Chain A
């Protein structure tokens, strides 16, 4: 049963990832990315990483994807004339070059693949077990990793100041 769900999630992830690649409509690509990220969250749950799955949904599906859709909305297109009222408005990409995308994706894939093949996973040989990781993460965060936790706070502060400054510099009133 779990295996069937696992393969269904793989199918969802890969299928919608191909959808991102194949569709010409930028907005559809963003929504296919939503399905991909949801599928990855499901795979995280099946790998026993429940906290990672929830934060994946919260940050990537809830936050980053909204930013991507805002990026589509903020992009200026010149010749968007009057369209038929009764038909969907298509936001089509004209950029169809795949060489650089292939180079970047292939590079990342080869690095990740070589790292994963060489890595020695301790949990690989053991029986799979499922227990909530939130408690462990919280306890570790407050004891062993409390300094990295506060440094993450400083990092978020820097990101907040930098991002809002950059985003506001393009506002028309300043």
Chain B
């Protein structure tokens, strides 16, 4: 068992070493000519405005907290999955073992599915959409007058060729 984890550790160390090596060799080869555009924080092509330390929307938190709870459920599922289909256990109990463990796990999953259904019905999973601010013009002039003026001063377009 320990040697299996040793292999994982070797993979992690090799991955880190490879990243370090590639970046080091790259720093030797590449020309170094920084300018303001290159050093800007990457924002998918947008100009970054303000500070990164803003208050994010709380909708992410609700999803994250539900995710953590299902993460815990998954941890329970793993040891169950290793013993659920074991042939020796099923043959010893005349098939009862498989049905019993399947039923137990179905009850367990159904309990959490109930919680998810609750959160769904209550609308906690709904994405909070920001309300668009439609600009309003408070003026005594009726809209039809504007329309008239627009039509009066519209230059007729040249016909398309």
Query: In terms of DSSP, what is the predominant structure of the interface of chain B?
Result: helix
B18 within 8 A of A: no
Contacts of B61 in A (CB 8 A): 67, 70, 74, 167
Please classify how large the interface on chain B is, using the bins under 10, 10 to 19, 20 to 34, 35 or more. 35 or more
Q: How far is the CA of A167 from the CA of B59 in the complex (A)?
A: 8
Q: Tell which of B24-32, B117-125, B148-156 binds the partner.
A: B117-125
Contact A168 B101, beta carbon cutoff 8 Å: no
Contact flags B46-57 to A (C-beta < 8 A → 1, else 0): 011111111110
- The size of the chain A interface, using a CB distance under 8 A, is 63
Pair A146/B104 contact, Cβ less than 8 Å = yes
Please pick, from A86, A89, A142, A164, the residue contacting B119 in the complex, using a CB distance under 8 A: A164
Given the contacts A59-B68, A76-B55, A85-B40, A141 and B80 also touching, CB distance less than 8 Å: yes
Question: Which one of A98-106, A116-124, A148-156 is at the B interface?
Answer: A148-156
Q: Determine if A80 and B51 form an interchain contact, defined as CB atoms under 8 angstroms apart.
A: yes
A113 to B80, CA, bound (A): 34
| A89-B72 in contact given A135-B83, A167-B62 (Cβ < 8 Å) | no
Q: Which of B36, B58, B68 contacts A64 (CB 8 A)?
A: B68
Q: Which residues of A contact B108 (CB under 8 A)?
A: 149-150, 153
A74 in contact with B56 given A67-B68, A132-B1, A163-B65 (CB within 8 Å): yes
